[in-house]
Structure 1
Amino acid sequence: MTAISGPAFGRDYENPQPRMGFFTDTSVCIGCKACEVACKEWNAIPEDGLELSGMSYDNTVGLGANTWRHVAFIEQRDVLADAENGDGGMRWLMASDVCKHCTHAACLDVCPTGSLFRTEFGTVVVQEDICNGCGYCISACPYGVIDQRKDDGRAWKCTMCYDRLGAGMEPACAKACPTDSIQFGPLDELRERARERVSAVEGARLYGDSPDDGVGGDGAFFLLMDEPEVYGLPPDPVVTTRDLPEMWRHVAKAAATLATGAVVAFLASRRK
């Protein structure tokens, strides 16, 4: 499975654009939640997460129909500090999560109405006005990003501020981030920048940047300071629809066999 970069893919556009994406450097995230607020304000997303969750300072817990940016707060023992000082130091890991806008997006494969589509920027967007609420995209997403609103049943997720991109503006979350933890731009440039950054940060690793991973690389990838599971991310995401072509071939063969059997049985009954 190979990744596709450069101009947008999956649809034909008169004016194709470079594939755009997010690089989130969690090592400089301060947990201010400016990205969450900016996302909600620009996209008019209903409020949620106002109740105490028991999850440290994380009052939104995870991504959902009404949370398109989620800042995780993870308190853990600082292994490096322990090794140097033996003082049992603690550290905060903070990370702003978002839809990954996968190269091979299973949600696109299963949507029966065309509500989900690939934009000219290579991002994946839900057109909620033609979503029928079937929920197939929710179960297909390997990251558990997409969700339905209880009041209308339609699917909602990050659009990477598609309306802002069309006007030559960066997404609201990246614009509001005070530390440049969330960086926006052409995906190829972001990947190059990320490789330089990860080599300069001790204990850092990249997640979602590789075209050789199970989804062909993500349009939103991360520099992490621990294993993906610590941040609630799957260690080895795969395209959940990767076996669909083979399944359909088996279905077609089975249908042909049944049809042939029915014809043979009908002709045999006529002879009797």
Structure 2
Amino acid sequence: MPNSLFGPLDPAPEAGYVDAPPRVGFFTDTSVCIGCKACEVACKEWNAIPDTGFNLLGQSYDNTGGLSANSWRHVAFIEQPRASTGAGTDVPGAFAGLPVGPSVSAQTAVVASTTTVPTGTEPGITPAVDALAAAATIGTSSSGSSGTQFLGMPGSDLPGRTIDAPRSDFRWLMMSNVCKHCTHAGCLDVCPTGALFRTEFGTVVVQDDICNGCGYCIPACPYGVIDRREDDGRAWKCTMCYDRIGDGLRPACATACPTESIQYGELDELRERAAARVAALHEQGVESARLYGHDPSDGVGGDGAFFLLLDEPEVYGLPPDPVVATRDLPQMWKKAGLAALTMAAAVVVSFSGRRR
């Protein structure tokens, strides 16, 4: 297994687990996300998370706005307007307050070959309705065959499919965001009570009965994931359904996702699958497809939850170069120790000179 800046890619053995199982994680393929919010609902349902209100933000179909103590999964709706000239340049400010990034041509679409929609259910998870599955498979191949199912976003027509007056003045980028379960988690480094701990699966979990609400973990997270609830002050975030995966079940969000945009499994296998998916999209002409959070040599040692994006990370509200705040602590302590030894040696030399 490759090494990161912080040691082995799998952090569970470093946390003291003997014969730890393979590290698990999320691969979220935003190219097939249809914005159904089934993951948000399943997450709240299984984890008994309080509601965050039912009023739209007034800007888009996004009614939660971001990750918070009461939103452990957040589906972002990023509306990108196109220039009226048809050129590949977006119009800043056309959607106030929303990020604007490079556009795509009206013919560019995301194609997911042999995509299967899960039909089984698992305990405690409400299955996605058939209408969502139908929305995910909204076309057939140009030859009329139903063997290939196409998936895409509004604003881009699908290959081999012609509709009346297709929308080409904007596109939607949809993304289900979540805690990254970093290889080197700053929140773990700064927690004074041990409320945050590394599981045998390599994930990071908050024990709410131990958290004292100090809030140190909040600025330590380079992604702004962790948040405190106003009513009790304790920190909360995604646990990757630690109680479910320990019993051999998939996390609630991955179980409910009708298009398999959220994929759960062993991290090494997910990385291979993601690389193949990006290569396939590039072959289909979607050059903007790229992975985010998969690199073990980045500023957090790689993420346990990584993403396939269709634009720059900033467009999705993600930091382009995340760095864990405690990354340099080991070197700082070494330098401080060396400085202390040097000072002590200087004091000894000084006193011995005086005695002479």
State TM-score, norm by structure 2.
0.68
More helix by share: 1
Q: Which position in structure 2 is the counterpart of 1:210?
A: 295
Question: 1:20 and 2:24 equivalent?
Answer: yes
Query: Is the contact between residue 9 and residue 301 of structure 2 (CA under 8 Å) also seen in structure 1?
Result: no
Kindly tell me: are residues 254 and 190 of structure 1, through their superposed partners in 2, closer, same or farther at Cα, counting changes over 3 Å? same
Query: Is the contact between residue 5 and residue 19 of structure 1 (CA under 8 Å) also seen in structure 2?
Result: no
Query: Is the contact between residue 184 and residue 300 of structure 2 (CA under 8 Å) also seen in structure 1?
Result: yes
The 5 Å alignment of 1:1-272 reads 1=5, 4-5=8-9, 8-77=12-81, 79-81=103-105, 89-201=169-281, 202=286, 203-249=288-334
Q: Which position in structure 1 is the counterpart of 2:144?
A: none
Looking at structure 2, the residues matched to 184 and 195 of structure 1 have their Cα atoms a distance apart, in angstroms, of 15
Looking at structure 2, the residues matched to 262 and 46 of structure 1 have their Cα atoms a distance apart, in angstroms, of 60
Q: Offset at 1:50?
A: 1.6
Looking at structure 1, the residues matched to 106 and 11 of structure 2 have their Cα atoms a distance apart, in angstroms, of 47
Give the residue type in structure 2 aligned to 1:168: G
Give the residue type in structure 1 aligned to 2:78: I
Aligned-pair identity (%)? 71
Q: Offset at 1:52?
A: 2.3
Looking at structure 2, the residues matched to 14 and 261 of structure 1 have their Cα atoms a distance apart, in angstroms, of 44
Looking at structure 2, the residues matched to 252 and 135 of structure 1 have their Cα atoms a distance apart, in angstroms, of 29
Give the residue type in structure 2 aligned to 1:234: P
Residues 132-164 of structure 1, C-alpha deviation per residue, up to 9 Å, x if partnerless?
111111010000000111111111000000000
Give the residue type in structure 2 aligned to 1:197: R
SS in 2 for 1:139: helix
Kindly tell me: are residues 131 and 2 of structure 1, through their superposed partners in 2, closer, same or farther at Cα, counting changes over 3 Å? closer
Give the residue type in structure 2 aligned to 1:144: G
- Farther off after superposition, 50-59 or 103-112: 50-59
Residues 153-194 of structure 1, C-alpha deviation per residue, up to 9 Å, x if partnerless?
111000000000110000000000000000000000000000
Looking at structure 1, the residues matched to 297 and 343 of structure 2 have their Cα atoms a distance apart, in angstroms, of 40
Q: Offset at 1:255?
A: 7.2
Q: Offset at 1:249?
A: 4.7
SS in 1 for 2:324: coil
Q: Which position in structure 1 is the counterpart of 2:150?
A: none
Query: Is the contact between residue 3 and residue 211 of structure 1 (CA under 8 Å) also seen in structure 2?
Result: no
Kindly tell me: are residues 3 and 77 of structure 1, through their superposed partners in 2, closer, same or farther at Cα, counting changes over 3 Å? farther
- Farther off after superposition, 192-201 or 2-11: 2-11
Q: Offset at 1:70?
A: 0.2
SS in 1 for 2:14: coil
Kindly tell me: are residues 54 and 4 of structure 1, through their superposed partners in 2, closer, same or farther at Cα, counting changes over 3 Å? farther
SS in 2 for 1:164: helix
Q: Offset at 1:8?
A: 2.6
Looking at structure 1, the residues matched to 237 and 317 of structure 2 have their Cα atoms a distance apart, in angstroms, of 18
Q: Tell me how large the CA RMSD over aligned residues is.
A: 2.7
Q: Which runs of 4+ in 1 moved over 3 A?
A: 82-85, 246-263
Residues 107-135 of structure 1, C-alpha deviation per residue, up to 9 Å, x if partnerless?
11111111111100000001111111111
Q: Offset at 1:75?
A: 0.7
Aligned residues: 266
Q: Which position in structure 1 is the counterpart of 2:149?
A: none
Looking at structure 2, the residues matched to 3 and 24 of structure 1 have their Cα atoms a distance apart, in angstroms, of 25
Kindly tell me: are residues 16 and 41 of structure 1, through their superposed partners in 2, closer, same or farther at Cα, counting changes over 3 Å? same
SS in 1 for 2:239: coil
Looking at structure 1, the residues matched to 107 and 45 of structure 2 have their Cα atoms a distance apart, in angstroms, of 43
Kindly tell me: are residues 260 and 130 of structure 1, through their superposed partners in 2, closer, same or farther at Cα, counting changes over 3 Å? farther
